[in-house]
Amino acid sequence: MANHRMGRTTEDIKRELTAIFRELKDPRVTEVFLSIVRVEVTYDLSYCTVFVSALEGLDKAKGACKGLDSASGYIRRELGHRLKLRHVPSLIFTATDSIEYSAEISRILNSLDIKESEDAEDNTP
C-alpha cells in the first residue's frame, strides 16, 4: 500500500514541477525546451531527485539545472503550496541527455532504407 502512495506522490510532484517550470522567469530555464524525464523521491520524502533533459543537448540541460538550483527555494515553496504534504522534499536537479539520445535513435531509424512492400512480401505464407 505504501508503494502505491509513493508512486502517486511522485507523479503529483512531477505534474506540479512541470507547471512551476513554465512560470519561472530565469532565462537559463525559459530559453530551453525542458522535459522532466523522471522523479525519484526518497521513502521519507526528505529528498527528491529530478532528472531533466533538454532537446538542445546535455550542455543546455546542465545550464538549466544551474538555473533551477538557484530557484530551488521558490520551486520548493510553490510545491508546498500546491501539494498538501507534511514535509516538502529538498530538490536535486540532475541533467540527462535522454531526449537527445532518443532523437538520435529516431534519426538513425528514419535514415534506414527499408521498403514496406518488401516486408509485406516476406511475411506472406
What tens digit of pLDDT does each residue of 55-90 get? 888 899 999 999 999 999 999 999 999 998 888 999
What tens digit of pLDDT does each residue of 32-50 get? 888 999 999 998 889 999 9
Residue 6, domain CATH: 3.30.300.20
| Enclosing domain of residue 92 | 2-115
Please report the pLDDT score of residue 94 as a whole number: 95
The answer to whether residue 11 sits within a structural domain is yes
Residue that wins the pLDDT comparison between 7 and 3: 7
The answer to whether residue 101 sits within a structural domain is yes
The answer to whether residue 120 sits within a structural domain is no
Please state, in angstroms and as integers, the Cα–Cα distance from residue 61 to each residue in 24, 71, 87, 115, 121, following that order. Answer: 15, 15, 28, 37, 45
CB 93 within 8 A of CB 68: yes
The answer to whether residue 122 sits within a structural domain is no
The answer to whether residue 43 sits within a structural domain is yes
- Count of the separate structural domains present in the chain: 1
- 51: pLDDT strictly greater than 90: yes
What mean pLDDT do residues 95-124 have? Answer: 76
